[in-house]
Chain A
Amino acid sequence: MMTAVNAPAPAVAGGKERPWIFHAADNVWSALQGLLPLIALLLLWQMLGDSRSPYFPPPSTWAAALIDRTNSGDLIPAVLVTLQSVAAALILATSLGVGIGGLIGASPALARCLGPTLEFLRTLPPPTIVPVAALIIGVNETMKLFVIVFAALWPVLLNTTLGVRSLHPTLLEAARSLQLGVVARMTKIFLPALLPSILTGVRVAAPLAIIVSLLAEMLTLMPGLGALLLMAQRNFNAAEVFGLLTVVGSFGFILNAALAAFESWALMPQGRT
């Protein structure tokens, strides 16, 4: 039995901490504070706007239009379809991006082989992919998923590659000298160490996924928020267009807040939040 020459400081282990949920609530609150100018603008619009204006109907008419759309059974399914596409594509893009990015980061040879090709594919604007994908795959959910993944993949892939390259050599050597197997090294060391990089990539990818999802829906009129928006525009229903725009905005806002909360929670043990 042995003790330190200098006595250790009073134990802090097990002490009460602010749970991560408070961090998340803080995030939401500060985001809402940031929305105050927008809310003020909308209120002003409501007070000064003319409810018969064909181009700039005030917010109360947007709400009425949205309620109409909800009652006709269009809005909720459209939101769900878009949400489903975005979520599925983000999960797929993250898995692919982490896999490919990890391999490229780990192998300079692979980086040399694939680098230029990936660089070329990355610079293709997603809107130009839609017609090509529609031709090859057809106008269906698979095509939509493909196009969204194609756009959302790059931020995750690049961040993972950079993350792997900046892993500290000592960490890699520690993993080697502890003689962990391949699977244990992946799950216990590499993935947690890369988590901050990966999540940053996902945060960048999420808005891209929404944009491309709406774009694909608008270009192909496949069910979803994008198609609804285009239809409203074609019917010159300005109130509905603005209403749907609000829905799209909130959609992105909530998705981002959810990802931020997840990040706070996931990185809490690393002391990064």
Chain B
Amino acid sequence: MTIQPAFQCERLCIDLPGAPGVRRIIEDLDLEVGRGQFVSILGGSGTGKTTLLRALAGLTSHSSGRAVYEGREVRSPVPGMAMVFQDYAHALLMWRTVRRNVALGVEGRLRNGELDQKVQNAIRMVGLERFRDEYPWRLSGGMQQRVQIARALAMEPSALLMDEPFGALDAMTKASLQDQLLAVQAETGATVLFVTHDIEEAIYLSNTIILLKGSPAHIARRITVDLPRPRDQIVTKELPEYLRLRHQLFEAFRHEIHA
């Protein structure tokens, strides 16, 4: 008996409306993601990374093939999955405090004591304890993104889907959030699908990197990252294996950059 994977795509095709009619964005994509894996989806701008993630999240419907989560076909958002959007400013409710934003996904289902405890715990995991009664519009971009991550964590998801969550942040904040994310994943054991166009970020975080290419997009490469955990911003990035992967991926993208 084999272990059931968290995510599975079989000959997945996605078409989206475009100017000349429907356009095929993703074609015949096969993918399997084991539970507890950290998988990054890497690719140039406009290849379809977001589209693939949205399909797996049940926010975009696919035209043919299968997108499966925990053995069930995904057609609409399913329990157990939480999505973190790149655009944190619009994903948060500006009229709710940090605490109440974090509670948003769970407050309907839990009793008060339990709710408070879950919310506190999620806020602790992203290090925002001191700001829990503040409104998001009074926080910095990085802090707002942490609120969104805490909101996802409060739902205790078994899968976390993140679309360039650190794309809009400065290098320092980015590094800090990467480490927090790794620690959270180690603590919760969640499966993470992480869309990024930052090669070094993908290597630093992942077990597996998937390279999307072409139009319509397919998986061009699947790279296993064998770096020890816990990872460290300085030590890990000086390991020969890290440098080899970095070289390999930049090489793979060289054509893209100059195309």
Task: Looking at the assembled complex, report how far the CB atom of B146 sits from the nearest CB atom of chain A, in whole angstroms.
Answer: 8
User: A174, B91: Cβ atoms under 8 Å?
Assistant: yes
Q: A181 contacts which chain B residues (CB < 8 A)? A: 108
Contact: B85 with A11, CB < 8 Å? no
Q: Which of A221-273 contact B (CB under 8 A)?
A: 269-271
Residue of A nearest to B137 (CB): A271
Q: Which residue of B lies closest to A192 (CB)?
A: B95
Is A3 an interface residue when CB atoms closer than 8 A count as contact?
A: yes
* A4 CB within 8 Å of chain B: yes
Residue of A nearest to B82 (CB): A177
- Counted as pairs of residues, one from A and one from B, with CB atoms less than 8 Å apart, the total is 95
**Chain A, interface SS category:** loop
Query: B residues within 8 A CB of A13?
Result: 130-134
A8–B128 contact, CB under 8 A? yes
Shortest Cβ distance from residue A265 to the other chain B in the assembled complex, whole angstroms: 12
Contact in complex: B130, A11 (CB < 8 Å): yes
How many positions in chain A have a CB within 8 Å of any CB in the partner chain?
33
User: What chain A residues lie within 8 Å of B151 (beta carbons)?
Assistant: 178
Q: Which of chain B's residues have a CB closer than 8 A to the CB of A269?
A: 94-96, 135
Closest CB of chain A to B144's CB: distance in Å?
13
Q: Which residues of the partner chain A approach B222 to less than 8 Å between Cβ atoms?
A: none
The stretch of B15-23, B38-46, B111-119, B176-184 in contact with A is: B176-184
- Interface presence of A80 (CB below 8 A): no
Judge whether A170 is part of the interface by a CB distance below 8 angstroms: yes
A1 CB contacts on chain B under 8 angstroms: 124
Among A3, A12, A180, point to the contact of B127 (Cβ < 8 A).
A3
B77 CB contacts on chain A under 8 angstroms: 176-179
From 162 to 184 in chain A, residues with beta carbon under 8 angstroms from any chain B beta carbon are 168-171, 173-174, 176-181, 184
* A2: contacting residue among B79, B131, B143, B183, CB under 8 A: B183
Pick from B83, B108, B140: contact of A177, CB below 8 A.
Answer: B83
A171 and B91 form a contact (CB under 8 A): yes
Cβ contact of B138, chosen from A14, A170, A189, A271, cutoff 8 A: A271
- With an 8 Å Cβ cutoff, the count of chain B residues facing the other chain is 46
Residue B175 lies at the interface, judged by CB distance under 8 Å to chain A: yes
Q: Within 8 Å CB of B175, what residues of A?
A: 5
With A174-B91, A176-B59, A192-B95 as given contacts, are A5 and B131 in contact (CB-CB < 8 Å)? no
Is A6 in contact with chain B by the CB < 8 A criterion?
Answer: yes
A2 touches B125 (CB 8 A): yes
Q: Are B85 and A4 in contact (CB under 8 A)?
A: no
Cα separation A259 to B102 with both chains bound (whole Å): 32
Q: Cβ of B180: which chain A residues have Cβ within 8 Å of it?
A: 2, 4
Instruction: Name the B residues within 8 Å of A122 (CB-CB).
Output: none
Alpha-carbon gap, A9 to B139, bound state (A): 10
* Residue of B91, B95, B155, B176 touching A6 (CB-CB under 8 A): B176
Whether A178 touches B90, Cβ cut-off 8 Å, given contacts A4-B176, A6-B173, is no
Is B85's CB under 8 angstroms from A8's CB? Answer: no
Residues from 221 to 248 in B contacting A, C-beta threshold 8 Å:
233
30 A–B pairs (Cβ distance < 8 Å), ordered by A: A1-B124, A2-B125, A2-B179, A4-B180, A5-B175, A5-B233, A6-B176, A11-B131, A12-B138, A13-B131, A168-B87, A168-B90, A170-B85, A170-B87, A171-B91, A173-B85, A174-B91, A174-B92, A176-B77, A177-B59, A177-B82, A178-B77, A178-B155, A179-B79, A179-B105, A180-B104, A188-B93, A189-B93, A192-B95, A270-B94
Interface of A with B (CB < 8 Å)? Answer: 1-6, 8-9, 11-14, 168-171, 173-174, 176-181, 184, 188-189, 192-193, 195, 269-271
Sorted nearest first, the 6 A-B pairs with minimum C-beta distance are A11-B130, A5-B176, A170-B90, A168-B90, A177-B83, A271-B137
